[in-house]
Structure 1
Amino acid sequence: MKLDNIEHVFFDLDHTLWDFDKNSELAFREIFEKQKIAINLEEFLEVYKPINYKYWELYRNNSVSKKDLRFGRLKETFDSLKFQTQDATINLIADDYIEYLPNNNHLLDGSMELLNHLKGKYSLHIITNGFEEVQQRKMKSSGIHEFFETVTTSEEAGVKKPHPQIFEIAVKKSGAKIERSLMIGDNLEADIIGAHNFGLQVIHLNSHDQAVQNQYPQVQKLNELLNYL
């Protein structure tokens, strides 16, 4: 079903356009080689991913600081794997990760094709809970920065999605009308419920095919968005 009243499209970045999992794996591979961390990368990532997700949930709910997120997700992963390492080394890995991560430029399948299709038809924007210092670098290294008229981060807004204030700031920056705006993202709570409660139209990118039943339109792949736009 085509959405014929949309003028502004707001995207989440990580896991929606930017392939966080692939780029994160490449960053850890490079860091572990540099730091001579003798650990199986696949085993590390299997344990790290759910722990990282948990820490981002805590961060979004203001239960941990940015510093605690960066350190804690690594510390808990190494402890779970019974891999002995010093806190100082974990801090070095945490710092390197923020430095190396945005250097990788893989996008989710269909991202560039979708953006090229939407460019000129809609005003495009980013709303992200990611860290200010890395999100711009991610977009530039992957070649998508030029598509977006505005980028609103949680650090700029002072709150994180799903707080209505971040959507309010993003809409105000864009000059959009709420009723003519659409939010697309992978996180049901932060992106979809948050944006819907603020009054935006929404489409959930359920790329991991999670078993979720809700009233929101959803797609599994980015190219399916062309059915709506």
Structure 2
Amino acid sequence: MKLTNINHIFFDLDHTLWDFDKNSELAFREIFANQKLEFDIDEFLEAYVPINFRYWELYRNNSVSKEALRYGRLKESFDALKFETLDSTINEIADDYIKYLPNNNHLLEGSVEVLDYLSKNYMLHIITNGFEEIQQTKMRNSGIHEYFRSITTSEDAGVKKPHPQIFKKALEKGGALPWNSVMIGDNLEADIIGAANYGLKPILIDPANKFPEHDYLRIEKLKELLIYL
């Protein structure tokens, strides 16, 4: 069933369009090879992924700074693997990760096809909690930057999703109104509940069925957006 009276579509970026997990793994592989750190990358990622997720929740809730996030997620991951390294090395890896991450360009399946289709009928925008200095680079390097009329980051807005101010800022930048806008993202609290509370129509992308109990539109793959838009 198609959503009606929609003119604007707002997307989250990481885990929604941009394949964060794959691109992050590639960045770490290159960094660890350059650092000559010898341990199993899969074991590292098994430890790192949930720790990184937890740190992003803390960052979203203003419980840690950006600097604490960058250092702490690596420090705790190395500690979990009982891998001893200097703080200076951790800080160097943290800096390299921000440099290397946007150099990888993998998108989630169907991203370009869906953006190409939707851009013919809607104005497209980005709302992201990701760091200002790398989000636009990610989009340019992956070839999707030109699809979007506006890009609103949490650093630009001064608050993070799900705070209503970031949605207010994004709508103003995009020339949109809540009632004629859709928000698409992978995080139930930040993207979906945050958008719904501000009056946008949300669609959750949830390929692993992490959020089985909620009342919002849900898709497993981006191509399913075409059912509603």
Give the alignment's TM-score, normalised by structure 2: 0.99
Q: Secondary structure at the match of 2:124?
A: strand
Deviations 1:112-147 (A, max 9, x none): 110011012000000000000000000000000000
Deviations 1:55-94 (A, max 9, x none): 0000000000000000000000000100011100000000
Structure 2 residue identity aligned to 1:142:
S
Quick check: 1:95 aligned with 2:95?
yes
Structure 1 residue identity aligned to 2:26:
L
2:211 & 2:145 partners in 1: Cα distance?
A: 32
Deviations 1:124-182 (A, max 9, x none): 00000000000000000000000000000000000000000000000011111210000
User: What are the equivalent positions in structure 2 for 1:105-120 lying under 5 Å apart?
Assistant: 105-120=105-120
Q: CA RMSD in A?
A: 0.6
> Identity of paired residues, percent?
67
Give 5+ residue unaligned stretches, structure 1: none
Structure 1 residue identity aligned to 2:178:
I
**Other-structure match for 2:43:** 43
2:193 & 2:142 partners in 1: Cα distance?
A: 28
Note the C-alpha offset of 1:208.
2.1
State how many pairs are aligned: 229
Deviations 1:183-207 (A, max 9, x none): 0000000000000001100100012
Note the C-alpha offset of 1:39.
1.3
Structure 2 residue identity aligned to 1:160:
K
User: What are the equivalent positions in structure 2 for 1:1-229 lying under 5 Å apart?
Assistant: 1-229=1-229
Runs of 4+ residues over 2 Å off in structure 1:
none
Deviations 1:89-121 (A, max 9, x none): 000000000000000000000101100110120
Q: Secondary structure at the match of 2:89?
A: helix
1:108 & 1:208 partners in 2: Cα distance?
A: 14
Give the alignment's TM-score, normalised by structure 1: 0.99
2:177 & 2:166 partners in 1: Cα distance?
A: 15
